[in-house]
A and B are shown apart, each in its own frame.
Chain A
Amino acid sequence: MVREIVERRSAITFSIVTVALLLFPIRHNWLAQPKDGFPLSYYPMFTSTRGEITTLHHVVGITHNGESVNVPGKYAGPGGMNTVRRQMRKMYHGGQAAELAKRVAERLNGSSFTERHKVVRVEVVKSNYTIKRYFDGETGPVSREVAASVKLAKRPAP
């Protein structure tokens, strides 16, 4: 009987502590510099304010005739879209754009993507897109900065 009382109290105490720990990150909503955590989070998804222009750090392939094509994120690194996107942004701002360009160029060498699009060079870029324009069908960037450029070792036949 005593053991059961102790067990019951332990279960309740453990539950209260767990719930309190889970609720603790709520304070980040009102901090000047909130920081998300794992697995205790304040779940800030979909809360940041978006302007009319969105910026993306990514890699483009330059074709024989000078057109640019978006290189899929899988050539830049492992993981899902958001994982790769974050990694590319970190590398861009961390002065590693040339390294990223080199890595993507190595992976694109002889790939079906390169053959299909006739890519001869890759560029690590920061592109600005206007949301309204993009969904009106004009999917090109309004401005673009190139941080690094690498030629492919194995170029496809024109």
Chain B
Amino acid sequence: MTSPIVFGRIASWWLTPMPATRLGGVRIACGTYALCYLLPRCNMFHELWRTDADLFDPVGMARLLPGVLPPGIMDTVYWLTVLTGVFFTLGFKHRIAGPLFGLLLFTLLSYRNSWSMILHMHNALVIHAMILGISRSADGWSVDAALYRRRGGVPPGSSWRYGWPIMLVGAVTIIAYFLSGVAKLACPEGLDWAAGEALRSQIAVNAIRYDILEGESAPLFQTIYQHKALFWGMGIGTFVLELGVPLALLNRRLGVIWAIMVFGMHWGIFFVMGIKFRYQMSGLTYASFFDLEKMACPKTPLAAALRKFALNGKASLANY
């Protein structure tokens, strides 16, 4: 008897109604990051799959391939990903462009990682894009929604249909950190990892690599290397943020606090280690933890007038 009640409560929590615009905001955040990552790296992608085929070690979607593809095919995949990425971000023809973008991004980044190593910063990006691509994330803040309104359609309000994808995108983000925490706990150091010595030596090795291969190491590392207590603090802090992360999904306010802290952690990693977790450092990966529709529409008279203008398409700003 208890099980159905518990399951019902979990289901209604997971299917909490949320505004279409919030999900639309999460879609825009994901798409914007993907385009900002892909476009400036056009030449890098182009060169990468023209390097020695012996370096190809397939991961993800690339494991389904018979081997290295002709570079021209991958160039096409790259440009199709960019094109569908633009449609995805704008929320235009989402029923087709959304799933297609998720699939193409998965293919492209799998292939990219197959030439080097798994860049963990993009695991969440790919899964976010696939979830947002197949969900109704273009019902708000999109070209599709604007065209629908123009044809006389009523803008959708809050619904569980917009709630569960936001919850799931948040869960994807959270699980990555949780698994990362478990991996540290399961490594030979175990709980001692929190003492900071393992982290310190990891960062030191990384700093040497950057120094030798890029001619520069992280700005702060040279300064803090001698201060072991700082690494102890970083070790404890990392464990708390990674293993305590499930709480961020259970309580929305805790989720916001966690997102801000972990965003700061990634910038800290950059300053100390020089490692750029770009999706995380952009902050866009944490969009699902925030009430984006409220952030985008603060309650100022000008914002209210603009919102009215945007919704009605005819109201003037004269009253402002």
| A residues apposed to B, CB below 8 Å | 7-8, 11-12, 14-15, 18-19, 22-23, 25-26, 29-30, 36-50, 54, 56, 58, 70, 72-73, 77-79, 81-87, 90-91, 94, 96, 99, 127, 129, 131, 134-135, 139
Contacts and interface: CB of A to CB of B under 8 A. Distances in A.
A84 B52 CA distance: 13
Interface SS of B by simple majority: helix
A43 B48 contact: no
A67 to B, nearest CB: 15
Interface string B145-185: 00000000000000011001001100110011001101110
Nearest to A70: B212
12 contacts: A8-B15, A12-B164, A15-B168, A18-B171, A22-B176, A26-B182, A37-B118, A46-B199, A47-B186, A49-B187, A50-B204, A84-B116
Contacts of A83: 48, 115-117
Given A39-B127, A43-B176, A131 B198 contact: no
Interface stretch (B53-61, B93-101, B280-288): B53-61
Given A29-B182, A84-B213, A79 B127 contact: no
B205 interface: yes
What are the 5 closest A-B residue pairs judged by CB atoms, nearest first? A83-B116, A29-B186, A47-B187, A43-B180, A78-B47
A47 B202 CA distance: 8
Contact of B175 (A7, A19, A84, A135): A19
A77 B59 CA distance: 20
B222 interface: yes
Contact of A48 (B187, B208, B211): B187
B112 to A, nearest CB: 8
Contacts of B187: 44, 47-49
Contacts of B131: 18
Contacts of B122: 38-39
A127 B208 CA distance: 11
Given A30-B186, A46-B202, A79-B48, A23 B175 contact: yes
